[in-house]
């Protein structure tokens, strides 16, 4: 065997977005929004909504179905830092098992 046959090539794509938020913005409420995708299984979405966002199973089911039928749905409203951390946790869990489940934040006005 040659050394070339032992070489493994991997491509890693990482999306990182850094956002600078003033201190007063950290306490303002932000809406966590889930986006529908055609890959992530519905039962996994419900699991994430219950485990990460602490929704009841019935509420998680309703949020998942709303996203499924309308393309997006409001999950919860939290202070910015908590909302950001939960979105990060949800994305990390989904990526660990290969799903593109996506959430984003928007100010609650």
For residue 64, is it within any domain?
Answer: yes
Distance of CA 103 to the CA centre of its chain: 4
Of the chain, the end-to-end C-alpha distance in Å amounts to 64
Is 55 a member of any domain? yes
State pLDDT tens for residues 58-103.
999 999 999 999 999 999 999 999 999 999 999 999 999 999 999 9
Residue 15, both tokens: 């999306």
Instruction: Tell me what pLDDT residue 27 has.
Output: 75
- Residues with Cβ within 8 Å of 57's Cβ and at least 6 positions away in sequence, in order, are 46, 50
Q: Classify residue 15: in a domain, yes or no.
A: no
- Write out the residue range of the structural domain in which residue 70 sits: 38-109
Helices (H) and strands (E) in the chain, counts: 4, 3
pLDDT of residue 109: 79
Q: Which CATH number is 109's domain given?
A: 3.30.1390.10
> Which residue in 75, 78, 57 sits closest to 66, CA to CA?
75
């Amino acid at each position: 065997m040659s050394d070339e046959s032992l070489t493994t090539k991997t491509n890693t794509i990482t999306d990182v977005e850094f956002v600078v938020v003033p201190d007063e913005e950290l306490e303002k409420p932000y809406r966590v929004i889930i986006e529908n995708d055609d890959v992530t299984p519905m039962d996994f979405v419900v699991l994430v909504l219950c485990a990460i966002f602490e929704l009841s199973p019935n509420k998680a089911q309703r949020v998942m179905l709303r996203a499924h039928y309308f393309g997006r749905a409001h999950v919860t409203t939290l202070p910015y830092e908590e909302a950001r951390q939960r979105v990060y946790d949800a994305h990390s869990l989904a990526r660990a098992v290969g799903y593109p489940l996506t959430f984003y934040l928007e100010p609650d006005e």
